[in-house]
């Protein structure tokens, strides 16, 4: 029997984990505000038991269940695949959400809060962070959503997760494609699977009339993608994606993040990401668009 809500709909289960200090507690609060029952610090093998428990609730009034995964146990590497197998055996297909952050920012956060890392002790903070990242790598690889909080405030993370949850629930399963624009002078997205450098395209920044606009404005899109270089790049790009995406889907890939970068992340990358997004969303894939550095100077 599948878990159900009071309205008769299916009861979604989210497993939330990630690097300590990256914002997992904040993310749990976001899902709590969205109407989910949340529980944190669960060892892997406890999660199937929690799902079984809530499957017995005939008139459960929460929107879903979000479980915070604890990776601090020495036997995590053995328990995690066993837990996944048990969840699969009972017919549960949880959504995996992974929260991460760059190492320098995590170091600054720990210095500011003066809290110990869960794996810290004889290892020291830096090695504890490396060990946690190593342990959680298999979880990250299976996650449908990877959130990099390096440049996010608490409010940014809240808005991001609210938007992403609405996106995740639109399509039940299959390959999810995340199209990002960014600026190289800020930071290359660490969650990108493929990075495309667009700094060879005509730059509207040097036109004083176009400079205040962004790639979301038609004059910028026409300037960038209406050029010979832009139109040819977009044609070849879509041919490549139309070939490669079905291959990833057949291999059972959970997500694919495509990052398009220019110098500042405002003109060329935004216009191209918008065009790629418009083309892909006409397909059968679930596609999400994010302009990571659009509003940065």
Residue 179 near residue 276, CB atoms below 8 Å: yes
252 is in an annotated binding site: no
> 35-48 as b/e, with b when 16 or more CB fall inside 10 Å?
ebbbeeebbbebbb
- Determine the 3-state secondary structure of 290 from DSSP: strand
21 is in an annotated binding site: yes
- Say what the pLDDT of residue 7 is: 38
User: Tens digit of pLDDT for each residue in 145-190?
Assistant: 888 998 888 888 888 887 777 655 655 456 789 999 999 999 898 8
181 is in an annotated binding site: no
Q: What angle do CA 186, 187, 190 make, to 5 degrees?
A: 160
24 is in an annotated binding site: yes
20 is in an annotated binding site: yes
23 is in an annotated binding site: yes
- Say what the pLDDT of residue 5 is: 42
Spell out the domains of the chain, with CATH numbers in brackets. 13-170 (3.40.50.300), 177-291 (no CATH)
Is 21 a residue whose pLDDT tops 60?
A: yes
- Say what the pLDDT of residue 6 is: 36
Share of the chain above pLDDT 70, in %: 91
Mean pLDDT calculated for residue range 228-251: 91
- Say what the pLDDT of residue 168 is: 58
Is 15 a residue whose pLDDT tops 80?
A: yes
Is 75 a residue whose pLDDT tops 90?
A: no
CA atoms within 13 A on the CB side of 40: 12
Strand order in the sheet with 286-291: 194-197, 255-262, 176-183, 286-291
Mean pLDDT calculated for residue range 190-218: 93
- In sequence order, the β-bridge partners of residue 166 are none
- Say what the pLDDT of residue 91 is: 83
Residues with Cβ within 8 Å of 295's Cβ and at least 6 positions away in sequence, in order, are none
pLDDT band at 201 (very low <50, low <70, confident <90, very high): very high
- Say what the pLDDT of residue 115 is: 84
H helix or E strand, kind and range, residue 32:
helix 24-33
- Determine the 3-state secondary structure of 129 from DSSP: helix
19 is in an annotated binding site: yes
């Amino acid at each position: 029997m599948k878990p159900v809500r009071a309205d008769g709909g299916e009861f979604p289960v989210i497993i939330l984990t990630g690097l300590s200090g990256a914002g997992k507690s904040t993310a749990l609060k976001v899902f709590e505000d969205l109407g989910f029952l949340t529980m944190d610090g669960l060892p892997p093998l406890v999660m199937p038991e929690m799902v079984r428990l809530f499957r017995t609730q005939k008139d459960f009034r929460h929107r879903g269940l979000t479980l915070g995964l604890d990776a601090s146990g020495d036997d995590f590497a053995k328990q995690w695949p066993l837990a996944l197998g048990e969840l699969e055996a009972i017919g549960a297909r949880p959504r995996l959400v992974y929260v991460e952050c760059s190492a320098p920012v995590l170091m600054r956060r720990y210095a500011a809060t003066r809290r110990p890392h869960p794996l810290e002790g004889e290892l020291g903070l830096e090695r504890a962070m490396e060990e946690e990242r190593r342990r959680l790598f298999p979880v990250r690889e299976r996650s449908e959503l990877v959130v990099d909080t390096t440049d996010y405030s608490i409010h940014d993370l809240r808005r991001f997760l609210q938007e992403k949850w609405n996106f995740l629930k639109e399509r039940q399963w299959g390959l999810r494609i995340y199209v990002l624009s960014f600026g190289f002078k800020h930071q290359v997205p660490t969650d990108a699977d493929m990075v495309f450098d667009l700094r060879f395209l005509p730059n509207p920044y040097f036109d004083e009339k176009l400079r205040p606009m962004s790639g979301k404005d038609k004059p910028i899109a026409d300037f960038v993608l209406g050029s010979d270089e832009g139109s040819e790049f977009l044609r070849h790009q879509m041919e490549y994606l139309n070939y490669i995406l079905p291959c990833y889907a057949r291999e059972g890939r959970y997500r694919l993040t495509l990052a398009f970068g220019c110098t500042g992340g405002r003109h060329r990358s935004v216009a191209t990401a918008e065009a790629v997004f418009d083309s892909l969303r006409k397909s059968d894939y679930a596609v999400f668009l994010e302009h990571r550095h659009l509003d940065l100077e």
